[in-house]
Structure 1
Amino acid sequence: MKPNHKGSAQLFKNPVLEKMSRTHIALPISIFLIIAVGLIYYGIAYSFISILEAIGFFFLGWFIFTLIEYLAHRYVFHMDTDTPLKARMQYLFHGNHHEFPKDKKRLAMPPVVSILYASAFFFIFKVVFGTFVFGVVAGVLFGYAMYLLVHYVVHAYPPPKNFLKQLWIHHSIHHYKDPEVAYGVSSPLWDYILGTMPKRSK
């Protein structure tokens, strides 16, 4: 789908749903940073985890998020559109973003949807990690907030003159040259590991 630098897709005929599909990037970033801090504080204050455990599992959660980000982008947001339902879902999730990459109000899922996902992840990780979940999910949510920030900066501003320029280039290749590579947004780590790094000309 050819990207359009201006404009915005209409996803729903219902005006309420259409309005809910847009969000200012500061809202979800603030929500998830506050929840992440709250989880760490609650876990430590009520002796579910120690400070060292909180730090260690926080970084583990952040690392886990980078894999979730990659897998979701590659296999959910870029799912095969071999049926009308899949095509519609893919366009709602991500296709509209590829068509209108400069639409700043569609660079994040609506907070209500992402909070539901975060709640589901909390209960899943609670089963796996027990009381360490407070550190792990805090790291996952912090990773998501950083992903949103990087994603917004890449689309809203010109490339910076520092090391972050590589993330801008990486994501721009995915949008404007080859959507089958460069699935990592906040980190190219899993593109390196799983073989989807773009081949750059010298």
Structure 2
Amino acid sequence: MVAEKFNVDLNKPLAFQVGHLGEGYQEWVHQPIVSKEGPRLFENDIMEFLTRTKWWVIPLVWLPVVSWSLVMAIRMGISLTQAALLVMVGMLIWTLLEYSLHRFIFHMNTKNYWSNTMHYLLHGCHHKHPMDSLRLVFPPAAAAIICIPFWGLIRLLSTPIATPAIFAGGLLGYVIYDCTHYYLHHGSPSNQPARYLKRYHVSHHFRIQNKGFGITSSLWDFVFGTLPPALKIQKSS
């Protein structure tokens, strides 16, 4: 099927349509539709339900896991001071993971049917419908998949006694990230740094979509040279 001749019907479930766009998918998905009403992705009601998550589910599900990990670390002999420092290390690691996932996975270029479909379900639907409030945060099942290799990586690079505290920091960083992401889309911050972050993220969605991959911080965009040009000027002045 020729991509230019395929038209997506927004009144039908989108998940298995967008793949047919082929090489035209990237252009289509980065032309946002600004509406608070999100599209239907699947015909099946259960699959459709699993794609929708309210923002408060994230802290409700994951903050107990953060607490449990900290308690585990302290019971293993970590002092409160050491635990606090390791949590900060974990949060810093998360900011790099946040940047890396967003830049290299969520914004990968896709062309064929299945890669377009997977990209759309992973992140493309968010760029196409950026104000869809029920698809702004990761469903817990998807986040759990990332947690498993994240725990393994920390365990490989640190000591067994430090692993739970660093993991707690990384997971806390994720909770802050997802809640911040929701707020940047639907909140109206009047104070810094939230006001700057909202302008920064709006620029990523509506101005330069291949720059500004940080959500909770522009640190790694600065380090790796992916700051939006106008923000480079403003930050240096």
TM-score (norm 2): 0.80
Quick check: 1:195 aligned with 2:232? no
State the Cα deviation string for residues 149-198 of structure 1 (Å, max 9, x = none): 11011111224233311100110000010100000001100000000101
**Aligned with 1:3: secondary structure?**
coil
- 1:118 positional shift: 1.1
Choose which of 26, 33, 46 in structure 2 pairs with 1:4: 33
Q: Is the 8 A contact 2:99 2:213 kept in 1?
A: yes
Number of equivalences: 201
State how far apart, in whole Å, the 2-side matches of 1:52 and 1:158 are. 36
User: Are residue 135 (structure 1) and residue 198 (structure 2) matched?
Assistant: no
Q: Deviations over 1:113-168 (max 9, x none)?
A: 21232133112311221221111111100100110111011111224233311100
Secondary structure in structure 2 of the residue aligned to 1:130: coil
Higher relative contact order (CA 8 A, sep 6+): 1
Quote the residue 1:113 is aligned against.
Answer: 142
Aligned equivalent of 1:184, options 198, 214, 218: 214
What secondary structure is seen at the aligned counterpart in 2 of 1:175?
helix
Deviating 4+ runs (over 4 angstroms): none
Identity of aligned residues (%): 30
Shift of 1:110: 1.0
TM-score, L = length of structure 1 = 0.94
Q: Answer whether contact 2:137 2:179 (CA < 8 A) is retained.
A: no
* 1:156 alignment counterpart: 186
Q: Is 1:96–2:125 an aligned residue pair?
A: yes
In the TM superposition, residue 10 of structure 1 has moved relative to its aligned partner by 2.3
Q: Mark the runs of 5 or more structure 2 residues left unpaired by the alignment.
A: 1-29
**Of 37, 42, 45, the match for 2:75:** 45
Q: Is the 8 A contact 1:188 1:197 kept in 2?
A: yes
Paired AA for residue 106 in structure 1: R
CA RMSD after TM alignment: 1.5
Contact conserved, 1:29 with 1:148, CA < 8 A, in 2? no
Instruction: Tell me the equivalent position of 2:7.
Output: none
In structure 1, the residue matched to 2:89 is 60
Residue pair 1:79, 1:86 contacting (<8 A) in 2 also: no
Contact (CA 8 Å) 1:3, 1:100: kept in 2 or not?
yes
Stretch of structure 1 that moved more, 109-118 or 70-79: 109-118
User: Unmatched 5+ residue regions in structure 1?
Assistant: none
**Whole-angstrom distance in 2 between the partners of 1:106 and 1:160:** 25
